[in-house]
Amino acid sequence: MPYSELIQYFEQYVSLTEEEKSHINSSYKRVKLKKKDFLFKQGERCTTEAFVLKGTLRSFYVDSRGNEHVLNFALPGWWVGDLSSFYHGTDSFITVQALEDTDLLVIDPDVKEDLFNQIPSLERVFRIIVQKHLSSLQTRFLSTISETADQRYNNLLNKIPNIEQLVPQHQIASYLGILPESLSRMKKQLLEGKK
Amino acid sequence: MPYSELIQYFEQYVSLTEEEKSHINSSYKRVKLKKKDFLFKQGERCTTEAFVLKGTLRSFYVDSRGNEHVLNFALPGWWVGDLSSFYHGTDSFITVQALEDTDLLVIDPDVKEDLFNQIPSLERVFRIIVQKHLSSLQTRFLSTISETADQRYNNLLNKIPNIEQLVPQHQIASYLGILPESLSRMKKQLLEGKK
DNA sequence: TTATTTCATTGACCTATGTTAAGACTTTTA
DNA sequence: TAAAAGTCTTAACATAGGTCAATGAAATAA
């Protein structure tokens, strides 16, 4: 059972026969990234959808002034990719990079289409994944437009309690939409004012 | 051909038999909203997915301090709803309200499921719609975190050139994520400084 | 038609966060 | 192990946009 984490993940949603499990195992390939390696880059087509086995990654957007904005971190058990680019062949708006040595299971669009034909029940699983993706993007958007930086900081700590151990602080600042200097200042005020 | 706008919309993506067209016609119901009427509200389940025939609507989120944030405007030919709530029965995070007298074609989750069973090719149409929805949310998010208010103002004018005629200015400010006072000031500076 | 609510503008002042720059500490690379 | 690169903190100053308050115009309701 080589890719048991992934199989387990799918079996949260559907049950699979031994034959289906072996289809899954032969469709996904194991990929290892070194710290700082890219999975794919903004401006290229994203032909990869990956399930994280081990490690930490970040997805980010570079704006017209060259500033990076972290959209999300990805931890074991999470998916990374750019849906639009993967399915429609458009250029990706984001870059995905490993923040430490990372193990992934990846698939490309053609193999995924074959897999859907072999195991139709996976369509349902991925419909749910897309739905969750959409709803988490909506939550993040609402939080960004309606909450202060320190509320967003608390949200992040609730979502990923050990985030401070996993990624450098300037990446956290970028996720929050502020500069590292501002995060430093904010943390100091939180400690002092205990507010 | 009672609902020809909707049929035409679908036929951009797939071709339909006369029988299928009549299924569609009997699945959607016409709904008229008066200015200020709500289609559904934040905190309730959204059991309606609507295609706009005539009029203008806005979707907005009310945060914990009671401030409203406009997420989007909807014009003829656009869809409104809350996907998560519609499909999963969770409470909606947004409210949809008519900004003027509005005509819609609406469907509820059960009827939509039947319609998918009768016309499987519509699954593809709605997969594309969800994809577009996701990608436009991503664009809006990236613009919100990386651009200044006056760049976002320009984006909106490009997307909906006659928006100033369609909705009051404080709704535009809310969409941009600033206060009406700030939009007033900004427009004045744009005129003066011609910047 | 008048009364009432909604809307847009302006001004004075305030605050969170950006900008720039410097210094110390840590990790990676040669 | 030395040099280089990356990281975090602090401080002084700048700025976009928020807050509050007042006013007049426009739209809606009585």
The top-level CATH class assigned to B4-119 is mainly beta
Contact B28, B42 (CB under 8 A): no
Q: Which residue type occupies B132? A: K
pLDDT at residue B194 tops 70:
no
Given this model, what pLDDT does residue B16 score?
Answer: 94
Contact status of A1 with chain B (Cβ, < 8 Å): no
**What secondary structure letter does DSSP report for B148?**
-
Give the residue ranges of DSSP H helices in chain B.
4-11, 18-27, 83-88, 109-118, 121-146, 149-159, 163-166, 169-176, 180-192
Q: A186: Cβ–Cβ under 8 A, 6 or more apart, which residues? A: A149, A150, A153, A178
A190: confidence class by pLDDT, cuts 50, 70, 90? confident
Nearest nucleotide to the CA of A99, by C1', is D6
Given this model, what pLDDT does residue A2 score?
Answer: 67
**Which region holds residue B114: left if phi is over 0, alpha if psi is between -120 and 50, else beta?**
alpha
Rounded Cα distance, A149 and A139, in Å: 15
Q: B5: Cβ–Cβ under 8 A, 6 or more apart, which residues? A: B51, B53, B76, B77
A194: confidence class by pLDDT, cuts 50, 70, 90? very low
**pLDDT tens digits, residue range A68-118?**
999 999 999 999 999 889 988 999 999 999 999 999 999 999 999 999 989
CA dist B33 → A143, B37, B49, B156 (Å): 30, 6, 14, 25
Contact B77, B5 (CB under 8 A): yes
Find the closest chain B residue to A92 by CA distance.
B135
pLDDT at residue A195 tops 60:
no
**pLDDT tens digits, residue range A8-41?**
999 999 999 999 999 999 999 999 999 999 999 9
Sequence spans of domains, chain B: 4-119
Query: Are the beta carbons of B137 and A140 separated by less than 8 Å?
Result: no
**What secondary structure letter does DSSP report for B32?**
E
Q: B27: Cβ–Cβ under 8 A, 6 or more apart, which residues? A: B107, B111, B112, B114, B115
Chain A hits for B177, Cβ within 8 Å: 145
A1: confidence class by pLDDT, cuts 50, 70, 90? low
What does the mean pLDDT of chain B come to?
Answer: 92
Given this model, what pLDDT does residue B124 score?
Answer: 81
Given this model, what pLDDT does residue B187 score?
Answer: 92
Chain B hits for A142, Cβ within 8 Å: 61, 63, 69, 93
Chain B hits for A139, Cβ within 8 Å: 93
Q: Find the mean pLDDT for residues B62-84.
A: 93
Output the six-digit token pair for A127.
């419909």
CATH entry 3.40.50.1820 includes domain A4-118 = no
